[in-house]
């Protein structure tokens, strides 16, 4: 009962406030407050124009100051096309933004309340409806088509000479697997997963798994296409490759793929950015739990010779999971007793 009374009191308070406001408005009109309001509107109109000018200057300044400074130049061949697509998208939408904002603030200034001026109202205009429906539809269709072209490009079948790397998301780190000399990844099954010896669930009966190896960072060859096979062990993650302008969801039970070609080695990027500590990074771009912020891994882009030297040092996951048994130590042997004949000969030599 007390709850209903509280609600009723709140409603009554709002009704009283509303009635007081209406009464105040009527009193102000009777006292000549209309002229005061029009003067206030003129001041606000000028302030809107000032805000428009300063706002557009601020937008231009921020764009000029931050242009190229967030992630720098795209570090993949496919990233160049995606940067161009973003530039076109920002260009088209930016033009529309500037035009609509100018019209919005100018209309608020020009058509403010004035003595003897009455607003014109029309309920419908076929030509106007056609213009603001068809033109945006055509522009958006073109932008979507460009985006789909890039999407189909990075998710299409990778070139035959592309290297293959598997990356699996797991709360809260990335598991990276490489094929061995055979160039093929062995099959895996989730029931085989063992964090200590088999983190991705490789099937040891599959011969292709015998030379696959794993690493804590991703090594790629500059100028060589790479196909990523992406998956997840638990929840949805997302492989974010900001320097390469790529990302792809890692979905449990549904492998996803993308491919790209790195343009610069890590050493070259250190020189281009002037940052001796520069590293390519894999981030998780999908909220995946309390440790999401820490789910990162590094990418090393290097020459073919450097990659081959690094790969030659890696131990296959099969060998790591099946260490060779230690050989038992040979039993210690006692020194053979000296022959009695030798003892007699030795003693005679001493006498002589």
The CA–CA distances, whole Å, from 247 to 48, 69, 151, 169 equal: 41, 20, 11, 13
We find that the CATH architecture of domain 43-115+124-156 is Orthogonal Bundle (1.10)
Is the CB of residue 247 less than 8 Å from the CB of residue 260? no
Domain locations in the chain as residue ranges: 43-115+124-156, 163-321
Give, for all 352 residues of the chain, the pLDDT tens digit: 666 777 787 788 878 787 776 766 666 665 566 676 777 778 888 888 999 999 999 988 888 887 766 667 899 999 999 999 998 898 888 898 899 999 999 988 888 877 777 777 777 888 888 988 999 999 999 999 999 999 999 999 999 999 999 999 999 999 999 998 888 999 999 999 998 899 999 999 999 999 999 999 999 999 999 999 999 999 999 999 999 999 999 999 999 999 999 999 999 999 998 889 999 999 999 999 999 999 999 999 999 999 999 999 999 999 888 887 766 666 656 555 555 444 444 444 444 4
Say how many C-beta atoms besides its own lie within 10 A of residue 126's C-beta. 7
Question: What CATH number does domain 163-321 carry, 1.10.3720.10, 2.40.50.100, 3.40.718.10, 2.60.40.420?
Answer: 2.60.40.420
Closest CA to 259 of 302, 215, 299, 229: 229
pLDDT score of 346: 44
**E-assigned strands of the chain?**
163-170, 173-178, 213-215, 218-221, 226-232, 237-241, 246-250, 256-260, 280-284, 296-302
Closest CA to 256 of 219, 278, 216, 229: 229
Same topology between domain 43-115+124-156 and domain 163-321: no
- For residue 70, the 8-state DSSP code is S
């Amino acid at each position: 009962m007390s709850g209903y009374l509280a609600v009723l009191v709140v409603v009554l308070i709002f009704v009283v406030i509303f009635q007081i406001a209406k009464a105040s408005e009527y009193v102000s009109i009777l006292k000549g407050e209309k002229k005061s309001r029009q003067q206030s509107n003129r001041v606000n109109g000028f302030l809107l124009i000032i805000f428009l000018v300063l706002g557009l200057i601020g937008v231009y300044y921020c764009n000029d100051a931050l242009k190229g400074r967030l992630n720098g130049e795209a570090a993949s061949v496919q990233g160049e096309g995606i940067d161009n697509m973003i530039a076109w998208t920002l260009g088209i939408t930016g033009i529309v933004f500037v035009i609509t904002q100018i019209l919005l603030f100018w209309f608020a200034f020009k058509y403010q309340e004035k003595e003897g001026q009455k607003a014109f109202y029309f309920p419908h205009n076929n030509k106007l409806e056609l213009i603001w429906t068809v033109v945006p539809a055509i522009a958006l269709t073109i932008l979507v088509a460009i985006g789909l072209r890039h999407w189909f490009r990075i998710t299409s079948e990778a070139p035959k000479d592309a290297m293959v790397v598997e990356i699996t998301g797991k709360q809260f780190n990335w598991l990276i697997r490489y094929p061995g000399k055979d160039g093929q990844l062995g099959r895996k099954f989730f029931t085989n997963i063992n964090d200590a010896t088999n983190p991705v669930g490789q099937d040891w009966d599959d011969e292709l798994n015998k030379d696959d190896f794993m690493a804590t960072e991703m090594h790629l060859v500059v100028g060589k296409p790479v196909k990523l096979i992406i998956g997840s062990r638990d929840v949805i993650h997302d492989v974010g490759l900001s320097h390469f302008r790529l990302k792809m969801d890692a979905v449990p039970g549904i492998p996803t793929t993308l491919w790209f070609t790195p343009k610069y080695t890590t050493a070259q990027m250190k020189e281009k950015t002037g940052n001796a500590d520069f590293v390519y990074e894999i981030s998780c771009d999908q909220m995946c739990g309390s440790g999401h912020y820490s789910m990162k891994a590094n990418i090393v882009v290097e020459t073919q010779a450097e990659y081959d030297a690094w790969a030659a040092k890696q131990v296959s996951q099969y060998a790591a999971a099946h260490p060779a048994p230690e050989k038992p130590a040979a039993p210690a042997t006692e020194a053979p007793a000296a022959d009695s004949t030798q003892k007699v000969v030795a003693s005679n030599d001493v006498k002589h």
